[in-house]
Structure 1
Amino acid sequence: MSHPANALPGPPDREAEDAFGSSGRGYWVRLRTLVLLRWTAILGQAAAILVAWRYYAIDLDLALCLLVVGAAVAVNVAAEIAFPLNTRLSDRAAFLTLLFDTSQLALLLYLTGGLNNPFALLILAPATIAATALPARATVFLGTVTIALVTILAFVHQPLATRDGAAITVPAIFGFGYWLAIVIGVVFLGLYARRVASEIRMMSEALLATQMALAREQKLTDLGGVIAAAAHELGTPLATIKIASAELARELDDRPDLQDDARLIRDQADRCRDILRSMGRAGKEDLHLRSAPFSALVREAAEPHLGRGKVLHFDLGDEPGASDRQPQVLRKPEIVHGLRNLVQNAVDFARAEVWVDADWGERDLTVTISDDGRGYPTHLLGRIGEPFLPRRRDDSADRRPEYDGMGLGLFIAKTLLERTGARLSFANGSDPFLTEEERPARSGAVVTVSWPRGRIEVTDTGGLGENRPIVS
């Protein structure tokens, strides 16, 4: 089958939006941020008005201009009084705040010459902020309002003149150029800012999922250590209980009812011993095996998927007589979890068979995982390993609907393995245009993971860690 590139659930559906356009991404913008930005704008507006009126003798309706600036001051003061500044605004509240800023600046530009005012460019700011923080519908609406206001200002505004009556205008062609530049700026900066912010958010979500996966693997390792310690510490009291219960059973020959109870205690002690012995063995494997033969590490990663209805073929170079030349490698949770994700992906989308091969040379250690499925979608092959990949409508959703094709699983595997120094490459085993008869056995997805030997090879210690002197 076609690989959707992961098998893990993605983030909340970005298409499920309410009537306002919110997709569950709200409450990102702090009120304090917008308040500080508005105070900065207020200081700049007041300074520009006073300098133009006082030093350049521009004939302005000073009272109306300062009244418009005062409206922004009143809104800021009211916001600081009514709400804590660490309040995070909903999508609707952030949208209304930015809409007010756009309208206030447009009104101020109307009073100061419209697009003849060189500060008209600042009307781009609210629309750009909206593109980074608001849903698409709210961003488009605010951008449309901005373009509409700029268009109105191009034709309707108070003329700009000095107090001695000299008009301050720009040639019509320059006025059209200013209008066109602002319109293009709204569209371009909005799309650019939204694209960058979206990629940053997706990467943050994916890295969070990666950290959670690694933390889970580490917790399992720590849990194994606790189990091993418990098995060791409880061994002695359980042995004492068994000896004491056996002695009681022998001494209670004349009390069959009590003798049965003593034998039951002995049997249950034996059962506890067996359980702790098996748990302790697993715990020691998790806690103490700091390094292992390369083939053993690869087998451990693939082991949970051996009984899932697909045949796994191993070529790990661990045939008899070859183990003495196998490299010992660090048994890191990142390697185990990353390889396990890759094997899981291959098993999920193979028809019947999966191949796991390991090889090593003087410089590199390599693992190759391939299957007999349909391979990766060709239109996504260059983007495999990115989080939250888009999916075409004709992809494998109808064949395997529980996979949403977002790419998170392979991103997690790729991130964890690259953290250990690995290089990953993704390919398909055959040409998608071949017929079924012409396709080779390993016709599906192929993942190659390669490490420089020095990054994970262990040369100075055995598999059970370092021996330490006993300090009395």
Structure 2
Amino acid sequence: MPTARDTAGAARDGPDLALDLRTPAWIRLRTLVLLRWLAIGGQLAAVIVAQEVLDLGIAAELAYLAIGLSVAANVFATLFYPEGKRLTQDEILAILLFDVVQLGFLLSLTGGLGNPFALLILAPVTIAATVLRLRWTLLVGAVAAVSITLQRWAYVPLRKPDGTVVGAEPLFTFGLWLAILTGIAFLGLYARRVTGEMRSMSEALLATQAALAREQKLTDLGGVVAATAHELGTPLATIKLASTELAQELEGAHREDAELIAAQADRCTEILRSMGRAGKDDRHLRRAPLSAVLREAAAPHEGRGKAIRFEARGDDPLVERRPELLHGLRNIVENAVDHARARVVIVQEVGPAGVAVTVRDDGPGFPPHAIGNIGEPFPKRRPGAKGLGLGLFIAVTLLRRTGAELKAANRGARGGPGGAEVTLRWPPGALDAAQGPGAALGENPVHPVA
């Protein structure tokens, strides 16, 4: 039971799966345009203050030209592209590279590394790390590193009105250069890892919601079919009785028609009986003993060549047959059957401390590197490993909604016969079905039928 089957779709390859945006409609053009307008405002304010308030000598014409290029790019994007346009990877890359080069050129005109706003070169790199593929992120980071390195030598120094050069000590500029390069690497890696974790979790939660919605639809559909079979039983029986009596009184072709009606009524009854074996969807059928729920969850896997044994200790409480409970337990059992050699044991324990369900198999157990990642979506895979861990993540997420806590371990590590085990624990009362007058029966819910 080393990994979980990916129940949410086909497996994707590569360690960078969460950031491999093949359909990267992530960022709106309006967002980057707005950020650039803010940058333009800050650049204009800095140049005006340096020139008019601090009376520093700078290459003002070229500085305004650099800012004007950003203004022109924003105006062009606003006029010729729709406001809600989503950018592709190449478009985002082009915008960020333009911003890095423009900012580097502006810094070279305003003191280079002596300009305290040199730290702003980190902004495009951070954005690239959150939205671009790895190779494009590295490209933006490399261009930013080259640009900031050039500021150590190729820049126009700031001068006071008397011609005195304003600048920092060489040791300080060297330290600032080294700090910015470190920031490019660190902030890029930090933003990328955090964003990758968030995206992986988002994708996994979407898959969990889809699995739960599918389970709920199947449950609702079963109720509709069962109720239909129950309600149509009397009309079909009436048709059967009437057609049989007519067949006894008629002769020739009319008798054959009556017999055909009776036969088709029998056929409809049999079809509805086979479709509605779960019974009418009254509320009391949403409650069942815990042992019955465990057997129901394991039923799809009993014919796969592995023996499934059930053990019960303590009481057998009534629990709600919630879709998340059934789907989560089914995934846990499926995972155990997938990796068992010959046998899976499901142990049910009920006591004052609550309810515990343990699923054990006699397989090879969890790999050592996977023990700490049980229930995590898209863990790092070793060569030969199957699945992405998404199936077990879905199971854990759904079961936690019922109040369960999960613990996974290898039995052999504690001196046992070997194999893996997953233990689920619920606090007292977490699984108890609703009790009291009117809790068992009631009107059938209205299910929409497509």
- Which TM-score band applies after superposition, normalised by the shorter structure? over 0.9
Matching residue's letter, 2:392: L
1:219 is matched with which residue? 217
1:400 is matched with which residue? none
Instruction: Give the one of 21, 27, 30 matched to 1:32.
Output: 30
Matching residue's letter, 2:98: F
Matching residue's letter, 1:109: L
1:210 is matched with which residue? 208
Q: Give me the TM-score of the superposition, normalised by structure 2.
A: 0.93
Q: Is the 8 A contact 2:371 2:409 kept in 1?
A: yes
Distance across 2 between alignment mates of 1:67 and 1:81: 21
Distance across 1 between alignment mates of 2:381 and 2:300: 28
Q: CA RMSD in A?
A: 2.3
- Report matched runs for 1:137-152 at 5 Å: 137-152=135-150
Distance across 2 between alignment mates of 1:190 and 1:120: 17
- Is residue 313 from structure 1 mapped to residue 309 from structure 2 by the alignment? yes
- Report matched runs for 1:377-396 at 5 Å: 377-393=367-383, 395-396=384-385
Distance across 2 between alignment mates of 1:188 and 1:353: 49
Q: Is the 8 A contact 1:123 1:146 kept in 2?
A: yes
- Is residue 419 from structure 1 mapped to residue 401 from structure 2 by the alignment? yes
Q: Is the 8 A contact 2:340 2:362 kept in 1?
A: yes
List per-residue Cα deviations over 1:192-248 (Å, max 9, x = no partner).
000000000000000000000000010011101211232233223312321221122
1:6 is matched with which residue? 5
Distance across 2 between alignment mates of 1:445 and 1:358: 17
2:446 is matched with which residue? none
1:155 is matched with which residue? 153
1:447 is matched with which residue? 422
- Is residue 366 from structure 1 mapped to residue 356 from structure 2 by the alignment? yes
2:342 is matched with which residue? 352
Displacement of 1:38 after TM fit? 0.3
Matching residue's letter, 1:232: H
List per-residue Cα deviations over 1:120-149 (Å, max 9, x = no partner).
000000011000000000001110111011
1:43 is matched with which residue? 41
Q: Secondary structure at the match of 2:159?
A: coil
- Report matched runs for 1:271-290 at 5 Å: 271-284=267-280, 288-290=284-286
Q: Is the 8 A contact 1:292 1:463 kept in 2?
A: no
Stretches (4+) displaced over 4 A? 9-12, 285-288, 461-464
Q: Secondary structure at the match of 1:165?
A: coil
Distance across 2 between alignment mates of 1:86 and 1:12: 32
1:100 is matched with which residue? 98
The change in CA–CA distance for 1:328 and 1:12 in structure 2 (over 3 A counts) is: closer
List per-residue Cα deviations over 1:433-465 (Å, max 9, x = no partner).
x9xxxx71xx21100001012222136249972
Matching residue's letter, 2:404: A
The change in CA–CA distance for 1:368 and 1:195 in structure 2 (over 3 A counts) is: same
The change in CA–CA distance for 1:210 and 1:462 in structure 2 (over 3 A counts) is: farther
Instruction: Give the one of 405, 408, 417 matched to 2:390.
Output: 408
Displacement of 1:364 after TM fit? 0.8
Distance across 1 between alignment mates of 2:441 and 2:355: 24
2:229 is matched with which residue? 231
Instruction: Give the one of 263, 266, 269 matched to 1:267.
Output: 263
Q: Is the 8 A contact 2:412 2:419 kept in 1?
A: yes
Displacement of 1:259 after TM fit? 2.2
Q: Secondary structure at the match of 1:282?
A: coil
Displacement of 1:81 after TM fit? 0.9
The change in CA–CA distance for 1:16 and 1:184 in structure 2 (over 3 A counts) is: closer
Q: Secondary structure at the match of 2:165?
A: coil
Distance across 1 between alignment mates of 2:434 and 2:207: 33
2:365 is matched with which residue? 375
- Is residue 76 from structure 1 mapped to residue 58 from structure 2 by the alignment? no
How many residues align? The count is 442
Distance across 1 between alignment mates of 2:7 and 2:277: 30
Q: Secondary structure at the match of 1:370?
A: strand
The change in CA–CA distance for 1:338 and 1:237 in structure 2 (over 3 A counts) is: same
2:448 is matched with which residue? none
Q: Secondary structure at the match of 2:309?
A: strand
Q: Is the 8 A contact 1:291 1:462 kept in 2?
A: no
The change in CA–CA distance for 1:462 and 1:331 in structure 2 (over 3 A counts) is: farther
Q: Secondary structure at the match of 2:105?
A: helix
Distance across 2 between alignment mates of 1:14 and 1:25: 16
2:83 is matched with which residue? 85
Displacement of 1:331 after TM fit? 1.5
Distance across 2 between alignment mates of 1:461 and 1:290: 15
Distance across 1 between alignment mates of 2:132 and 2:282: 46
- Is residue 458 from structure 1 mapped to residue 424 from structure 2 by the alignment? no
Q: Secondary structure at the match of 1:367?
A: strand
Of stretches 173-182 and 275-284 in structure 1, the one that deviates more from structure 2 is 275-284
Distance across 2 between alignment mates of 1:416 and 1:231: 31
Q: Secondary structure at the match of 1:292?
A: strand
- Is residue 67 from structure 1 mapped to residue 65 from structure 2 by the alignment? yes
Structure 2 spans left out of the alignment, 5+ residues? 444-450
Matching residue's letter, 1:456: L
Q: Secondary structure at the match of 2:71?
A: helix
Structure 1 spans left out of the alignment, 5+ residues? 397-402
List per-residue Cα deviations over 1:319-354 (Å, max 9, x = no partner).
xxx8xx421112211110000000000011111111
Displacement of 1:260 after TM fit? 2.9
Distance across 1 between alignment mates of 2:105 and 2:49: 19
Q: Is the 8 A contact 1:302 1:340 kept in 2?
A: yes
List per-residue Cα deviations over 1:141-186 (Å, max 9, x = no partner).
1101110111111111001112221211111110100000000000
Distance across 2 between alignment mates of 1:285 and 1:296: 17
Instruction: Give the one of 299, 304, 307 matched to 1:303.
Output: 299
List per-residue Cα deviations over 1:242-273 (Å, max 9, x = no partner).
12211221012x42x43233222212212211
